[in-house]
Amino acid sequence: MSKLDSRKVAITTGILFLLMHAVAVILLQFGLMNYWQWAHMATFDHAVTTFNILQFIVGSLVAGLAGSILGLLFSLIYNKL
C-alpha cells in the first residue's frame, strides 16, 4: 500500500472546501438555494443579507483551512494503517 503525501492531500482538500463554500455563497446570493432545498428534501429558514466581500473572503479561507486540517488528519491516519 502506498503512502499519501500529507501536504498534497491537505492542499487538495483545502482547495475543495474553499471552492465548495464559495459556490454555495454565490448560489445563495442568486437565490438558487431553493433548488438545493428541494433536491435534498430539506427546509430551513434563512435570510440573505447584502453581500460583504470581506465576510466572503474570510469565510472561504476558514472553510479552506478546515478542509486542509481534515485532509491532513485523513492522510496521517491513512498512512498509519
Of the pLDDT bands very low, low, confident and very high (cuts 50, 70, 90), residue 13 is very high
Q: What is the mean pLDDT of residues 3-19?
A: 97
pLDDT at 55 over 80: yes
On whether the CB atoms of residues 68 and 2 are closer than 8 A, the answer is: no
CA-based nearest residue to 77, from 22, 9, 16: 9
Question: Is 1 a member of any domain?
Answer: no
Contacts (Cβ under 8 Å, ≥6 apart) of 68 = 10, 11, 13, 14, 17
CA-based nearest residue to 65, from 15, 4, 9, 8: 15
Query: Which is higher by pLDDT, 32 or 41?
Result: 41
Domain count, the chain: 1
C-alpha grid cell, residue 58: 474570510
Q: Structural domain of residue 32, as residue ranges?
A: 6-80
Does the model's pTM come out above 0.85?
A: no
Give Cα 45 distance to the centre of its chain.
Answer: 21
